[in-house]
Structure 1
Amino acid sequence: MSRPLLPLKAGAIVFTLLWTAWMMWWSGSFSSANVIILALCGTAVGYLWYRAMRWQFERMGMLSQREDRPK
């Protein structure tokens, strides 16, 4: 994990956890199927948030476009 992307990845994890917790609270159902579906959706949303924020930061020039590519 490269250092410039570490805060972005940590933010994506926090966003995923908060989004999933909010959706569970909002739905009001804590059945096992609901928890699994919301966990999977939360993972997808967190990943999409990470990709969108990384693209935006690269576009604004805050990240180099080659930060996370293997050498």
Structure 2
Amino acid sequence: MNRPLIPLKAGAIVFTLLWTAWMMWWSGSFSSANVVILAFCGTAVGYLWYRAMRWQFERMGMLPGPEDQAK
């Protein structure tokens, strides 16, 4: 695992958990189907957030780009 990405990955996990918890609270339904669907959606949203933030941080020069990581 690349050391500069650890805080970004931890932030994505926290974002995923908070987003999923918020959506469960907002929906008001705690049925098993709703929990499974929201957990799946939360995982997808967290992954997309991670990819977007990684792209943006690489663009801003705050993270090494893919070509720099291979060296």
Q: When the two structures are aligned, how many residues end up with a matched partner?
A: 70
Question: Distance between the aligned counterparts of 1:16 and 1:54, measured in 2?
Answer: 15
Q: Partner of 1:20 in structure 2? A: 20
Which blocks of at least 5 consecutive residues in structure 1 are unaligned? none
Gaps spanning 5+ residues in structure 2: where? none
Partner of 2:2: 2
The structural deviation recorded for 1:66 is: 2.4
In structure 1, C-alpha distance between the alignment counterparts of 2:70 and 2:39, rounded to whole Å: 29
Q: Partner residue of 2:52? A: 52
Moved over 4 A (4+): none
The 3 A distance-change label for structure 1 pair 41 and 70 is: farther
Structure with the largest fraction of helix: 2
Q: Percentage identity across aligned positions?
A: 87
